[in-house]
Structure 1
Amino acid sequence: MRMAEKKDKIDVVNILTSAFINVLIPNSINFVVKNDEKRRERLRSLMEFQFDIGLELGHIFISDDSKGCIIFIDKWKSTLKRIILEVKLLFAVIGIENLFQVLKRENLIKSYHPKQDFIHLWLMGVAPEAQGTGVGSKLLQETLQFYEEKLIYLETTTPENLRFYKKNGFIIFHETFELDYPLYFLKYV
C-alpha cells in the first residue's frame, strides 16, 4: 500500500469510476450523480471531487497492485478550496434541482456521526477485474493499521458492502431507510 499524491489523480479516478459505473441500484453515489446521458462524465467528476477533497482533508491509499483505493477524511473542515470544489460539484454532478435532496442526505449522515473526533472512511473502490480477489480486504486491513487506535466511521448501502465491512471488523450502530435506499452506519474501534 502507498499513499496517493496529486500525480495519482488520474489513476485513482479511473479506479473509482470503473468500480461504480455499472452499479445502477439505488445507493449513495447514484443519489448524488444526476442520472442522464452524461452519467459517466458526471460520475468521473464526482470521483475527481472526492480525490481532491481526500487530498485536502485526509489521506488516499492505493493498493500495491494499483487496483484499489480508499479515501479517508481525517477531519471535516471548511476551507476556501473545499467551498470552490463543492460549487463545481453542484453544477457538474448534482444539478440545482437535486441540491435540496442531497443536502437532506448530508444532514442525515451528519446527525449520526459522533461529536468526538473520528476518521471517515469516505469511499473505497476496486477495479472490476480485481474485485473478489482480496485486493480490497488487504488494502482495508493495511489502512486500519495506519489508523490504529482511531475511531473510524463509514456509511454503506449494499448488502455486499455491509458483509465486507463486517467481515473486516466493523460493526453496525445504526441503519435507516429514510432515503430511497437503505443506509447502514458502521464503526471500527
Structure 2
Amino acid sequence: MPNVQAVVFDIGNVLIEWQPERFFDSVIGEDRRREMFATIDLHGMNDEVDRGGTFHEVIAATADRYPEWRDEVMIWHDRWIEMAAPEIPHSVRLLRALRAKGVPVFALTNFGIQTFAIAEPVYPFLSEFDRRYISGHMGVIKPETRIYQMVESDCGVPPEGLLFADDRIDNLRAAEARGWQTHLFEGPQGWADRLVAEGLLREGEAQ
C-alpha cells in the first residue's frame, strides 16, 4: 500500500456516538419509537440537514407533515445534542496522538451547518482538525462521489495517500472507488491497531 499522507476521520460513530433510535427508546419507549421510525423517514430528514438545509426549518416542516407525531419529531431538534452523544474517548486520543506526531488529520462528515455549530462547544476536539469537510457547508453528502472529489481538490493529497475511517461501508466503497485507503470503523481499538500497522503511531501512542 502507498504511504499514508493524511488520516481522515468520519465523526458520527467514530468520534461521537450517533444512535437516534437508542435515544428515542429512552425518551418515548421502544414500541412507540419503532412506530415513529416506520412512519417517518427521520434519517432522510436528517440527510436534508446534512446537505445544508436549515436545521429548524427542516425538522419543523417534517413535524408539520406528521401532526400526530409533532412533539416527538421536535425532540430531534430540541434535544439533538443528547442524541449526538457521548464522545468516544479512545478515538479522540487517537486524533490527538496523530496530530502530535505531525500527521495531517482531516474530518469528512455528514453534518449540518447548525448542528455542527451546536456540537463544537460541547466537543472541543472538533476544532482540532487540520482540515474539516462538513457536508452541510459543501452541499453534498457521503457517499456521493462529488464530496470525495471536493476533498481531493482542496487538500492536495493524492487519493492513494488518504486513509479514511468511517462506520458505513457504502461511504468507504465510494472512497475506495476514488483510490483512497479505508478502514471500516467497528471500534476504536481496531482503528488504533490499523494506525499502528500503518506506522503512523507506536503502540504506546495508540492507547
With the length of structure 1 as denominator, give the TM-score of the two structures.
Answer: 0.36
The answer to which structure, 1 or 2, has the higher relative contact order (CA under 8 A, 6+ apart) is: 2
Higher Rg: 2
TM-score for the superposition, normalised by structure 2: 0.34
Instruction: Determine which structure has the larger strand proportion and give its number.
Output: 1
Higher helix share: 2
